[in-house]
Amino acid sequence: MPKFQEELDLAIELEEPQMFKVLLHNDDYTSMDFVVEILTGVFHKSQQDAEKIMLQIHEFGKSICGVYSFEIAQTKTQQVKKRAKQNEFPLLATVEEDS
């Protein structure tokens, strides 16, 4: 059987995947405790970090909860929407391109 030697002189350029921010938005109805619960449960933040982010959401109207690939960011957003609906809160999570 003949031996085949294959040489590839292709320059392979690997690029970092594009990343996306997941933001939570303030509203007048969602409790601060529920926002902390979302941050610890969905975004796996520590209690201290969750409280800090929750206060940023309350003070500035929105805050970044994490930066992920597009698919993961979408999944996190859907998890927030599902939990908020189950608990009858209008909590809004959005995805934005990370610059």
pLDDT digits (tens, 9 = 90+) for 12-42: 677 888 999 999 999 999 999 999 999 999 9
Indicate which CATH number applies to the domain containing 36: 3.30.1390.10
Number of domains within the chain: 1
What is the C-alpha separation between 96 and 50, in angstroms, rounded? 20
Q: Which pLDDT band, with edges at 50, 70 and 90, does 8 fall under?
A: low
Domain presence at residue 1: no
Is residue 43 included in any domain, yes or no? Answer: yes
Note whether residue 16 is domain-resident: no
| Cα–Cα separations (whole angstroms), residue 53 to 18, 68, 71, 76, 88 | 24, 17, 23, 16, 21
Mean pLDDT of the 67-72 span = 96
Q: Is the whole model's pTM more than 0.85, yes or no?
A: no
Residue 5: inside a domain: no
**68: which 2 tokens?**
């992920």
Is 44 part of any domain? yes
What is the extent of the structural domain holding 82?
A: 28-97
Is residue 69 a part of any domain in this protein?
yes
